[in-house]
Chains A and B, each alone.
Chain A
Amino acid sequence: MVEVESLRVVRCGGSELNFRRAVFSADSKYVFCVSGDFIKVYSTATEECVHILQGHRNLVTGIQLNPKNHLQLYSCSFDGMIKLWDYIDGILIKTFIVGCKLHALFTLACAEDSVFVIINKEKPDVFQLVSVKLPKSSSQEIEAKELSFVLDYINQSPKCIAFGNEGEYVAAVRDFYLSVYFFKKKTTSRFTLSSSRNKKHAKNNFTCVACHPKENCIATGHGDGKIRLWRNFDDEKKYTYTCLHWHHDLVMDLAFSVTGSSLLSGGRESVLVEWREAAEKNKEFLPRLGATIEHISVSPAGDLFCTSHSDNKMIIIHRNLEASAVIQGLVKDRNIFTGLMIDPRTKALVLNGKPGHLQFYSLQSDKQLYNLDITQQEYINDYGLIQIELTKAAFGCYGNWLATVEQRQEKETELELQMKLWTYNKKTQGFVLNTKVNMPHEDHITALCFCNAEKSENPTLVTTSKDGHFKVWILTDDSDIYKKAVGWTCDFVGSYHKYQATNCCFSEDGSLLAVSFEEIVTIWDSETWELKCTFCQRAGKIRHLCFGRLTCSKYLLGATENGILCCWNLLSCALEWSAKLNVRVMEPDPNSENIAAISQSSMGSDLFVFRPSEPRPLYIQKNISREEVQWGVFVPRDVPESFTSEAYQWLNRSQFYFLTKSQSLLTFSTQSPEEKLTPTSKQLLAEETLPTTPFYFILGKHRQQQQDDKLNEALKNELVQLPLTENIPAISELLLCLSLDVGYLFW
């Protein structure tokens, strides 16, 4: 079936949506954003990703609409190319090869056939704004080497460059300088803030700049939260500025509305502020946007705004400051403590999300499904505050139960620990808090796992802690004559010579529990909680522990910190084999006997796939990543692949995903990524773009019929049963957000 190609590591979604400002199409129907090596086209109405424009070979750093044809889009990338796209059909039209690394892209309506890019010459810290002449030619790939220098010594971020008053001048800020270059006069003026010249640690450095579209007015944002409006800057002596101050932390981005009547600003407060008529008194707020506002953009039609947030989210906001759509990617700005998990119900990837939340992320659609609020506390965003961290989570009983552990440690002795157990409510399609345990252990919890055996009638959870104990929690009936209720209680506390308990694992049938105490592995009978036997290899503390599955269920695997991988036979209670391997990640495949181990060496990370029954690996992939791999997980496939090659057979039933230290989500694939895009999304796009003119009514109907027939055929093949949208918490929360009427001050 599948052509055997070489297996390669591919990035699978989850890339940053908030790297650069989003760009709206001229009719505000679509919003574009850069996402890793791709450009994504989202519908502003449905939040669906309708196209992924791919062709760049490195990070895309800037996108702009073609001012001459608003159905085309320019993009630039670190690979030194400027590409012109037809975003409606998702076709690459032209490629201009510039050659050097491009950091940002600007277009101007008045600048005929040239665009502006930021490049860095010689020194790594010196950036220049240059204009690139795009030669006219019919060929696909054109060399564009004609660069003309505009401004020097600028900031690399495109937020620090702005073109104003229909391209009369360009303003750039860096540190404590504002420089303005007038195209007609070909002169540069420089302004500094008088107060900042002598102070060493002045905080009022420039952070961003925006230019009024009609007037000669420049707005600059500063590190101390002030916004300055500069006027009369064509004269270096008579210039004036006024100050707007509301933000208490640095201003992250500024944007003027299309008419220039209002100015938008945002920062770490997660509040979008609209300054009307550039007056301090006249301001409106859209608070509680969830995370730091990184970028603000305004649609050319003027009816929509878009804010990009640090939690990898874009919010489409109406002109009247009402959020209308949220495009949420994988949240990545936090440490991942929980590791990667798979929700057995939705097959979604589950990991730490927003602070105190668990995110459910769909790998297929590269979209966040929903957030589960675990800590249920107001998030206070302040520098230096010790936040509650969600440190552990585990699913049990086919996704019916979810256990989470959160902790907060202010001082050495003051540990706050809370374990929560959530039950899945079929009616509301979400997790509901069932039991809250305060201080389940006296020290950090190192691991928790559910007994996922098929026959077990009573759900069982085991937690291990640094306090030297492991605790067994069981679900008990807590009902009386007034109500039916279930709750979790501690059933058994075990310890082994006061060693710290570090890992725990249930065997596949749930009959045995393995708990590692530093260097020693103990095996417990899960019926009577009797200690059955111990294994000790004196090879350092146990870092990972897992039982073999299916035909290999008589083996127990342990990876130690000294770089030894041991395999014990549970029947003979003896070491079967051991290998020298510095294992960072060890994950068993739920659908087969295979176990994936990722080892870390100075060269990079290597992947080994093996079966516990034999020490010889089935598959080795060297150097899957230069960074340290932190977590990995097997995701069961919906439709099994049929790799015939023996080396790839381990990928038949499950796919392996892993997360590196810089939080890029990677996987193995032999296919090219283009095949992923479903045909339906293309159809949708084509239909939406047809304008409803009288001509359309005559001709369009006929065409539509033909399309419908085609669409129906396509749909028949992949009929998807969607659940009723009512009462789904994520949806109702969304609807609630939309209908929320927020008009008062929060910050």
Chain B
Amino acid sequence: MAGYKPVVIQAYPVLGEKITQDTVYWNNYKTPVQIKEFGAVSKVDFSPQPPYNYAVTASSRIHIYGRYSQEPIKTFSRFKDTAYCATFRQDGRLLVAGSEDGGIQLFDISGRAPLRQFEGHTKAVHTVDFTADKYHVVSGADDYTVKLWDIPNSKEILTFKEHSDYVRCGCASKLNPDLFVTGSYDHTVKMFDARTNQSVISVEHGQPVESVLLFPSGGLLVSAGGRYVKVWDMLKGGQLLVSLKNHHKTVTCLCLSSSGQRLLSGSLDRKVKVYSTTSYKVVHSFDYAASILSLALAHEDETIVVGMTNGILSVKHRKSEAKKDSLPRRRRPAYRTFIKGKNYMKQQDDILINRPSKKHLELYDRDLKNFRISKALDRVLEPDCAIKTPEITVSIIKELNRRGVLANALAGRDEKEISRVLNFLIRNLSQPRFAPVLINAAEIIIDIYLPVIGQSPVVDKKFLLLQGLVEKEIDYQRELLETLGMMDMLFATMTRKESTSLLQHNTSDGFLENKKIES
């Protein structure tokens, strides 16, 4: 009564990385564009406004790159010493940067010379940022101080001297113009309020803090330092939410994806890790050639820019969504066909019976359903299927064997067709998961084509190849058995006088019983 049951394709566990929606999303980038800078790239920042240019701070220069440009479209080079932390204002028109000599310079994007210079720090300024009201700049320097500057009259408004070591990172709140956070090498992250002259919250990170990040809502704070990335709940007064230790070396930079669902961290161990911000599990990771110092994501995650210690800037663009060419529209049934019966309300005693959905059968299944066995085998031996999805081919061979018609399906083939079968066998015979099925198929082929051997040099060569393969496999097995024997002996000496033998591990990784293939 039931319909045709399609062949069950044996699913094998995929080795390596699991394919998830995240791996698909984060792998959907083109090969990176490499740009060589003059020194280590310490900061990359995207303009929040279109066309989403980005500022790259390396050595004593700041380069502004366009989205797809390989060459800088603008350069700020009025620094006597190393520049740090070039950051765009929210409107994308001003840029601020600190420098090794303790000065802070404010540039207009269209201009070349600095608009303002803030003097007051005595040592290198490693972090600067605009506050949410756009008219102030926050800076932190190696002289342990954090200063708040007024842009219009370039005056220092406040100085906080609460840190006891270099202040290396900072971040201003996007919502409240008076709040900002700084991280320091004294292992603390402090949140300052411009209205109170002192820090309001201080959290202990435990390592010199290299990077801090406030969530757009301001409720969560992420700090990176040492090998740890820690997430703090600011609304609970700086309670540690989660501590992540997924890098081998110091984490240097943090970044949020545009949706806010994923957190990215770059590290000196040359990896960028992507975390889910709900479970804080690593969902993806990228590898780079050198230690990573800076990391930025463009609007809508269109571009990933990573700056490294060797001065290489790696730019990855998202693959453009392939627009499918819409086929010429066929004439569809009229609208009323689709709405027929749709507005019928189900009564209480009615039993809803859905129209059975039409089962789509694969082409090989259609052949098998109609007992076209050779055709089905031909279809799965097409290079397209046999190379990409050998498990389908093997499953069909197994099914034919179960039906008792494998010999019929393999018989009566010409030189080209038989060499296609042999190619498949040569490629997959030694795989333990396919071996039991394919050895059987190989035996049948040899039985069928033994009388005509020597007629075709192509096929003869294939048979010889197959023979070599089997001999090699037998050698491997012998070696494996020898190793196993040695291991058994070792285990036997280790477990002395145990009344029972417990087997805790499986050593059965496919003992193929091999057959001599006489050609």
- Given A481-B276, A481-B278, A739-B356; A288-B506 close (CB under 8 Å): no
Identify which of A380, A735, A737 gathers the most chain B CB atoms within 10 Å of its CB. Answer: A380
Please state if B279 and A481 are interface contacts (CB–CB under 8 Å): yes
Please state if B352 and A469 are interface contacts (CB–CB under 8 Å): no
Please state if B5 and A290 are interface contacts (CB–CB under 8 Å): no
Please state if B501 and A380 are interface contacts (CB–CB under 8 Å): no
Please state if B500 and A378 are interface contacts (CB–CB under 8 Å): no
Please state if B283 and A746 are interface contacts (CB–CB under 8 Å): no
- Given A482-B20, A482-B21; A494-B502 close (CB under 8 Å): yes
Whole-angstrom distance between the Cβ of A733 and the nearest chain B Cβ: 7
Please state if A323 and B1 are interface contacts (CB–CB under 8 Å): yes
Interface membership of B440, Cβ < 8 A: yes
**When chains A and B are docked, how far (Å) is the Cα of A496 from the Cα of B500?**
6
Residues of B within 8 A of A469 (CB): 503
Interface membership of B355, Cβ < 8 A: yes
Interface size on B, residues (CB 8 A): 39
Interface membership of A384, Cβ < 8 A: yes
Identify which of B20, B351, B368 gathers the most chain A CB atoms within 10 Å of its CB. Answer: B351
Please state if B436 and A414 are interface contacts (CB–CB under 8 Å): yes
Residues of A within 8 A of B356 (CB): 736, 739-740
Instruction: Identify the closest chain B residue to A744 (Cβ).
Output: B370
Whole-angstrom distance between the Cβ of A59 and the nearest chain B Cβ: 29
Interface SS, A side: loop
**When chains A and B are docked, how far (Å) is the Cα of A710 from the Cα of B308?**
90
Interface membership of B347, Cβ < 8 A: no
Residues of B within 8 A of A442 (CB): 508
Please state if A376 and B502 are interface contacts (CB–CB under 8 Å): no
Give the contacts of A8-60 with B (CB-CB under 8 A).
none
Residues of A within 8 A of B401 (CB): 410
Whole-angstrom distance between the Cβ of B408 and the nearest chain A Cβ: 12
Residues of B within 8 A of A140 (CB): none
Interface membership of B327, Cβ < 8 A: no
**When chains A and B are docked, how far (Å) is the Cα of A735 from the Cα of B353?**
8
Whole-angstrom distance between the Cβ of A444 and the nearest chain B Cβ: 16
**When chains A and B are docked, how far (Å) is the Cα of A286 from the Cα of B501?**
59
Please state if A438 and B8 are interface contacts (CB–CB under 8 Å): no
Instruction: Identify the closest chain B residue to A315 (Cβ).
Output: B1
Please state if B404 and A384 are interface contacts (CB–CB under 8 Å): yes
Interface membership of B403, Cβ < 8 A: yes
Residues of B within 8 A of A740 (CB): 3, 356
Please state if A413 and B1 are interface contacts (CB–CB under 8 Å): no
Please state if B351 and A495 are interface contacts (CB–CB under 8 Å): no
Give the contacts of A270-300 with B (CB-CB under 8 A).
288-290
Q: Mark A330-372, 1 if CB is under 8 A from B, else 0.
A: 0000000000000000000000000000000000000000000
**When chains A and B are docked, how far (Å) is the Cα of A380 from the Cα of B369?**
11
**When chains A and B are docked, how far (Å) is the Cα of A740 from the Cα of B506?**
48
Interface membership of A531, Cβ < 8 A: yes
Interface membership of A717, Cβ < 8 A: no
Residues of B within 8 A of A385 (CB): 402-404
Please state if A725 and B351 are interface contacts (CB–CB under 8 Å): yes
Instruction: Identify the closest chain A residue to B18 (Cβ).
Output: A480
Residues of B within 8 A of A725 (CB): 351
**When chains A and B are docked, how far (Å) is the Cα of A725 from the Cα of B355?**
16
Please state if B3 and A438 are interface contacts (CB–CB under 8 Å): no
Please state if B20 and A378 are interface contacts (CB–CB under 8 Å): no
**When chains A and B are docked, how far (Å) is the Cα of A288 from the Cα of B7?**
17
**When chains A and B are docked, how far (Å) is the Cα of A373 from the Cα of B440?**
28
Give the contacts of B427-481 with A (CB-CB under 8 A).
436, 440
Please state if A377 and B8 are interface contacts (CB–CB under 8 Å): yes
Interface SS, B side: loop
Give the contacts of B347-369 with A (CB-CB under 8 A).
351-353, 355-356, 368-369
Whole-angstrom distance between the Cβ of B487 and the nearest chain A Cβ: 16
Whole-angstrom distance between the Cβ of A525 and the nearest chain B Cβ: 13
**When chains A and B are docked, how far (Å) is the Cα of A495 from the Cα of B499?**
11
Instruction: Identify the closest chain B residue to A725 (Cβ).
Output: B351
**When chains A and B are docked, how far (Å) is the Cα of A230 from the Cα of B312?**
94
Interface membership of A185, Cβ < 8 A: no
Interface membership of B49, Cβ < 8 A: no
Whole-angstrom distance between the Cβ of B12 and the nearest chain A Cβ: 9
Residues of B within 8 A of A323 (CB): 1
What is the number of contacts between chain A and chain B, taking CB atoms within 8 Å? 84
Residues of B within 8 A of A492 (CB): 504
Instruction: Identify the closest chain A residue to B401 (Cβ).
Output: A410
**When chains A and B are docked, how far (Å) is the Cα of A377 from the Cα of B10?**
12
Give the contacts of A730-747 with B (CB-CB under 8 A).
732-733, 735-737, 739-740, 746
**When chains A and B are docked, how far (Å) is the Cα of A384 from the Cα of B283?**
52
Quick one: which of A376, A408, A438, A737 contacts B402, CB cutoff 8 A?
Answer: A408
Interface membership of A3, Cβ < 8 A: no
Instruction: Identify the closest chain A residue to B501 (Cβ).
Output: A495
Interface membership of B413, Cβ < 8 A: no
- Given A481-B281, A746-B369; A737-B506 close (CB under 8 Å): no
Please state if A414 and B1 are interface contacts (CB–CB under 8 Å): no
Please state if A288 and B2 are interface contacts (CB–CB under 8 Å): yes
Whole-angstrom distance between the Cβ of A140 and the nearest chain B Cβ: 44
Interface membership of A7, Cβ < 8 A: no
Interface membership of A71, Cβ < 8 A: no
Please state if A438 and B10 are interface contacts (CB–CB under 8 Å): yes
Please state if A493 and B504 are interface contacts (CB–CB under 8 Å): yes
Interface membership of B288, Cβ < 8 A: no
Interface membership of A5, Cβ < 8 A: no
Q: Mark A518-533, 1 if CB is under 8 A from B, else 0.
A: 0000000000000100
**When chains A and B are docked, how far (Å) is the Cα of A739 from the Cα of B352?**
13
Q: Mark A438-474, 1 if CB is under 8 A from B, else 0.
A: 1000100000000000000000000000000100000
Whole-angstrom distance between the Cβ of A161 and the nearest chain B Cβ: 31
Please state if B2 and A733 are interface contacts (CB–CB under 8 Å): yes
Please state if A495 and B503 are interface contacts (CB–CB under 8 Å): yes
Please state if B402 and A288 are interface contacts (CB–CB under 8 Å): no
**When chains A and B are docked, how far (Å) is the Cα of A494 from the Cα of B501?**
8
- Given A408-B402, A481-B281; A288-B3 close (CB under 8 Å): yes
Interface membership of A497, Cβ < 8 A: yes
Instruction: Identify the closest chain A residue to B355 (Cβ).
Output: A739
Interface membership of B25, Cβ < 8 A: no
Please state if B1 and A288 are interface contacts (CB–CB under 8 Å): yes
Give the contacts of A491-550 with B (CB-CB under 8 A).
492-497, 531
Interface membership of B119, Cβ < 8 A: no
Quick one: which of A377, A481, A733 contacts B283, CB cutoff 8 A?
Answer: A481
Please state if A497 and B352 are interface contacts (CB–CB under 8 Å): no
Whole-angstrom distance between the Cβ of A380 and the nearest chain B Cβ: 5
Residues of A within 8 A of B436 (CB): 414
Quick one: which of A289, A490, A496 contacts B1, CB cutoff 8 A?
Answer: A289
Interface membership of B417, Cβ < 8 A: no
**When chains A and B are docked, how far (Å) is the Cα of A407 from the Cα of B441?**
20
Interface membership of B4, Cβ < 8 A: yes
Query: What are 5 inter-chain pairs, A to B, with CB distance below 8 A?
Result: A378-B6, A378-B7, A388-B402, A495-B502, A739-B353
The 9 tightest CB contacts between A and B, nearest first, are: A378-B5, A737-B1, A481-B279, A736-B356, A493-B503, A380-B403, A531-B500, A385-B404, A735-B353
Q: Which residues of A contact B (CB under 8 A)?
A: 288-290, 315, 323, 326, 373, 376-378, 380, 382, 384-386, 388, 408, 410, 413-414, 438, 442, 469, 480-482, 490, 492-497, 531, 725-726, 732-733, 735-737, 739-740, 746
With A414-B440, A493-B502 already in contact, 12 other A-B pairs whose C-beta atoms are closer than 8 Å: A288-B2, A288-B3, A326-B1, A373-B5, A376-B5, A377-B402, A481-B278, A482-B20, A493-B504, A732-B353, A739-B353, A746-B369
